[in-house]
């Protein structure tokens, strides 16, 4: 009996790979299993190999497993590409229509008539249901767990379609039972039955935005951020909000700035190329001290690069992009749950510090399905910063009737008035200006206003900037950000099983960088390994910039489009330990 199992379905893009994986994930999540579902898909609309991995476990997991237990193949290409990932003793369910074959002798291949059964029931598209039925039979799961879901999903198509899909599941299960070697045991251990949510990071960001009071979302579609827009376009109007598809990302971010200036909580969401187009506007937000929330869901770059693959290579752009110098905040959640709460924080910080806030995720975090505990809406607190009442605005208005919107202050943050407030007249411009916003290029004014703006985040360390998991006897500290959290946590389990204790530091706020806190943690370790999905070690460079030479910092990078597997980190640590400080290793500092 298994406490965790890794399953994959593969075929051509457009064959129903995504629904097959998501239906199985939802049904098992409802039984109390912890799910991690990751899509590997082509940038083409239709065609090209696509697959969906589902990790089913009785305890939380946030990464793909190192190896597959079961592979469902809709075509031979799936077997040719992915059979190598199967554990010895693994199982392939191949559609008998294409006469599947495999060149491994240590795995079992079942010929399941997926297409034939589906066509008998009325449509070959139902082969995904046949595959789900076959899977459940092998896992020892009652197919009836899909009944309510199928009824709900196909209700608008009529009872005939509902019954055909349920019959497809039943027949798939029968076919698998007839062929399975009775000595084979892929039976799943029972789950705890507890009710939990199942969502992607993008789903959590959408929910977080609504909880935070976001009412305007201008955006331009781009993978892998589009789900946020698509989710909010359905939900935001129900609570009085609006989603506007603009002609490009420049218009999107400028519209968000305008809405925010007018008093609405506004955000936009994009990915690398779109973020590049927003750079001038990010500077405008900083200069005009207008709150702005941008979600950057990183993907493979540069240019169009790998639009449907994972990467964490926007870090330098997010931290340093745009011209001139402005204060900015960069948050990097590491789980779907954190995506929800950090989105709320992003809106609060944007208004408290009156600056751009970038919520940075990556494709693996944005699009992977995760089991999430129930969200605690009582934790959602709205803070609008120094927003003044009419009476307070009137009290600050000068004898000429102008409000000092950019008034100098010890913390660099000025009281804010909304357009239309009585006595709140002021200028707003991207040009350097004085305290009422009037353009003024004098050297003394320039220095005064620049110092005021930059003072906002001086010596500020935002709460929950770090996640630390330390072992007293650990020699190695493993550092990461974003979606590398899951692989790092599991790699530590593997290393501990081999008698190698390690510690973990995950950085959740990248600007303002929590320098002293990071320095304190690093000072306790002689060796630090920074794990990230880019080619140049951008996070490792940040550590060297901010903490100096406290520790020997090694960099492990991966940039082939796939997220890390836990074993890759485990093996890298062992390799470093075996070689010590040998200068032959290119990743030695």
CA 364 – CA 41 distance, rounded (Å): 12
Q: Among the three residues 414, 441, 462, which one is the final residue of a domain in this structure?
A: 462
Tell me, what's the pLDDT at 584? 39
Collect all residues with Cβ–Cβ distance below 8 Å to 124 and sequence separation of at least 6: 115, 118
- Is the domain of 13 the same as that of 154? yes
Q: Which residue would you say has higher pLDDT here, 187 or 182? A: 187
- Is the domain of 60 the same as that of 155? yes
**What pLDDT, in 10s, does the model give residues 304-350?**
999 999 999 999 999 999 999 999 999 999 999 999 999 999 999 99
Collect all residues with Cβ–Cβ distance below 8 Å to 226 and sequence separation of at least 6: none
Burial zone of 354 (CB within 10 Å; 0-12 exposed, 13-18 middle, 19+ buried)? buried
End-to-end CA gap in the chain: 46
- Is the domain of 494 the same as that of 400? no
Tell me, what's the pLDDT at 550? 79
**What pLDDT, in 10s, does the model give residues 41-59?**
988 877 889 999 999 999 9
Nearest to 71 by CA among 102, 113, 36, 30: 102
Helix pair angle (515-522, 538-547), 10° resolution: 90
- Is the domain of 209 the same as that of 168? no
Q: Which value, in Å, is the radius of gyration of the alpha carbons in the chain?
A: 26
pLDDT band at 581 (very low <50, low <70, confident <90, very high): low
CB atoms within 10 A of CB 396: 17
Q: Could you tell me if residue 221 is inside a domain? A: yes
- Rounded average pLDDT over 546-566: 93
- Is the domain of 398 the same as that of 371? no
* Residue 482, domain CATH: 3.40.50.920
In 58-85, where do the E strands start and end? 68-73
- Rounded average pLDDT over 126-139: 96
CA 329 – CA 582 distance, rounded (Å): 38
pLDDT band at 586 (very low <50, low <70, confident <90, very high): very low
**What pLDDT, in 10s, does the model give residues 443-469?**
999 999 999 999 999 999 999 999 999
Tell me, what's the pLDDT at 226? 97
- Residue 589 in this model has a pLDDT that exceeds 50: no
Please confirm whether the linkage preceding 256 is cis (ω < 30° from 0): no
DSSP structure string for 169-208: HHHHHHHHHHHS-TT---PBPPP-----EEE-HHHHHHHH
- Is the domain of 148 the same as that of 62? yes
* Residue 18, domain CATH: 3.40.920.10
553 with 540: CB under 8 angstroms?
Answer: yes
SS (H, E, C) 17-78: HHHHHHHHHHHHHHCCCEEEEEEECCCCCCCCEEEEEEEEECCCCCCCCCCEEEEEECCHHH
Tell me, what's the pLDDT at 46? 77
Q: Containing domain of residue 318, as a range?
A: 199-379
- Element at 215 (helix H, strand E): strand 214-219
229 with 209: CB under 8 angstroms?
Answer: no
Tell me, what's the pLDDT at 40? 94
CA 533 – CA 520 distance, rounded (Å): 25
**What pLDDT, in 10s, does the model give residues 492-530?**
999 999 999 999 999 999 999 999 999 999 999 999 999
pLDDT band at 184 (very low <50, low <70, confident <90, very high): confident
- Is the domain of 393 the same as that of 262? no
- Is the domain of 359 the same as that of 252? yes
Question: Based on the structure, what is the number of domains in the chain?
Answer: 4
| Mean pLDDT computed over every residue of the chain | 95
CB atoms within 10 A of CB 300: 25
- Is the domain of 418 the same as that of 362? no
209 with 217: CB under 8 angstroms?
Answer: yes
- Is the domain of 432 the same as that of 375? no
Q: Could you tell me if residue 584 is inside a domain? A: no
Report residue 127 as tokens. Answer: 């082969």
Q: Among the three residues 415, 446, 462, which one is the final residue of a domain in this structure?
A: 462
Tell me, what's the pLDDT at 5? 97
Q: Could you tell me if residue 190 is inside a domain? A: no
- Is the domain of 472 the same as that of 555? yes
**What pLDDT, in 10s, does the model give residues 1-19?**
899 999 999 999 888 999 9
Q: Could you tell me if residue 194 is inside a domain? A: no
Report residue 344 as tokens. Answer: 């709320």
- Rounded average pLDDT over 159-185: 92
Q: Could you tell me if residue 76 is inside a domain? A: yes
What is the CA angle 386-339-461, rounded to 5?
50
Which residue carries 């409802």 as its tokens?
Answer: 30
CA 230 – CA 155 distance, rounded (Å): 22
- Rounded average pLDDT over 232-239: 97
- Residue 75 in this model has a pLDDT that exceeds 90: yes
- Element at 216 (helix H, strand E): strand 214-219
- Rounded average pLDDT over 166-186: 92
Q: Could you tell me if residue 586 is inside a domain? A: no
**What pLDDT, in 10s, does the model give residues 520-538?**
999 999 999 999 999 999 9
pTM: predicted TM-score of the whole model, two decimal places: 0.95
- Is the domain of 473 the same as that of 451? no
Nearest to 476 by CA among 520, 510, 522: 522
**What pLDDT, in 10s, does the model give residues 188-210?**
999 999 999 999 999 999 999 99
Q: Could you tell me if residue 456 is inside a domain? A: yes
- Residue 133 in this model has a pLDDT that exceeds 90: yes
* Residue 284, domain CATH: 3.40.50.970
5 with 186: CB under 8 angstroms?
Answer: yes
Q: Could you tell me if residue 585 is inside a domain? A: no
Tell me, what's the pLDDT at 579? 81
Q: Among the three residues 462, 494, 526, which one is the final residue of a domain in this structure?
A: 462
CB atoms within 10 A of CB 264: 17
CA 146 – CA 304 distance, rounded (Å): 39
- Strands 265-270 and 68-73 come out as unpaired
**What pLDDT, in 10s, does the model give residues 353-408?**
999 999 999 999 999 999 999 999 999 999 999 999 999 999 999 999 999 999 99
Tell me, what's the pLDDT at 583? 39
CA 490 – CA 306 distance, rounded (Å): 26
């Amino acid at each position: 009996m298994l406490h965790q199992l890794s399953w994959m379905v593969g075929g051509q893009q457009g064959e129903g790979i995504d629904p097959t994986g998501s239906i199985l994930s939802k049904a098992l999540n409802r039984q109390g299993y912890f799910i991690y579902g990751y899509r590997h898909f082509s940038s083409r609309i239709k065609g090209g190999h696509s697959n969906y991995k589902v990790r089913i476990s009785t305890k939380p997991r946030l990464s793909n497993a190192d190896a597959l237990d079961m592979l469902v193949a809709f075509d031979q290409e799936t077997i040719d590409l992915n059979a190598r990932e199967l554990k010895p003793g693994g199982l392939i369910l191949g559609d008998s229509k294409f006469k599947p074959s495999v060149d491994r002798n240590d795995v079992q291949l079942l010929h399941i008539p997926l297409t034939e059964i589906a066509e008998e029931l009325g449509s070959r598209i139902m082969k995904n249901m046949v595959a789900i039925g076959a899977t459940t039979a092998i896992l020892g799961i009652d197919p009836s767990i899909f009944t309510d879901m199928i009824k709900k999903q196909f209700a608008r198509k009529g009872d005939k379609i509902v019954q055909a899909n349920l019959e497809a599941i039943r027949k798939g299960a029968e076919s698998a039972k007839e062929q399975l070697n009775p000595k084979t045991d892929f039976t799943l251990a029972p789950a705890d039955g507890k009710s939990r949510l199942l969502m992607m990071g993008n789903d959590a960001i959408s929910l977080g935005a609504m909880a935070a009071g976001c009412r305007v979302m201008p955006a331009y579609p781009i993978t892998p951020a589009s789900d946020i827009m698509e989710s909010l376009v359905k939900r935001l109007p129900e609570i009085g909000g609006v989603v506007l598809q603009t002609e490009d990302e420049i218009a999107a971010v400028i519209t968000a700035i305008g809405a925010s200036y007018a008093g609405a909580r506004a955000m936009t969401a994009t990915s690398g190329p779109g973020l590049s187009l927003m750079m001038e506007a990010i500077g405008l937000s900083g200069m005009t001290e207008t709150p702005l929330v941008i979600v950057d869901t990183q993907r493979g770059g540069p240019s169009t690069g790998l639009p449907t693959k994972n990467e964490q290579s926007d870090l330098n752009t997010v931290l340093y992009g745009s011209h001139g110098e402005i204060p900015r905040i960069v948050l990097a959640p590491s789980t779907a749950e954190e995506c929800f709460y950090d989105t709320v924080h992003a809106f609060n910080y944007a208004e408290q510090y009156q600056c751009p806030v970038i919520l940075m995720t990556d494709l693996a975090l944005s699009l992977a399905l995760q089991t999430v505990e129930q969200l605690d809406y009582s934790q959602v607190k709205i803070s609008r910063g120094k927003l003044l009442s009419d009476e307070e605005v009137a009290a600050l208005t000068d004898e000429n009737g102008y409000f000092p919107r950019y008034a100098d202050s010890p913390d660099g943050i000025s009281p804010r008035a909304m357009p239309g407030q009585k006595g709140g007249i002021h200028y707003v411009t991207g040009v350097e200006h004085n305290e009422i916003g009037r353009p003024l290029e004098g050297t003394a004014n320039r220095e005064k206003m620049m110092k005021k703006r930059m003072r906002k985040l001086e010596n500020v360390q935002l709460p929950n900037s770090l996640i630390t998991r330390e072992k007293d006897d650990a020699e190695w500290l493993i550092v990461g950000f974003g979606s590398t959290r899951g692989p790092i946590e599991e790699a530590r389990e593997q290393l501990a099983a081999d008698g190698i204790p390690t510690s973990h530091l995950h950085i959740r706020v990248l600007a303002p960088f929590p320098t002293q806190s990071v320095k304190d943690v690093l000072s306790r370790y002689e060796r630090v390994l920074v794990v990230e999905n880019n080619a140049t070690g951008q996070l490792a460079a940040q550590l060297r910039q901010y903490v100096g030479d406290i520790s020997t910092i090694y960099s492990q990078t991966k940039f082939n489009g796939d997220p890390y597997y836990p074993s890759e980190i485990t093996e890298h640590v062992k390799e470093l330990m075996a070689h010590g400080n040998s200068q032959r290793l290119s990743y030695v500092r």
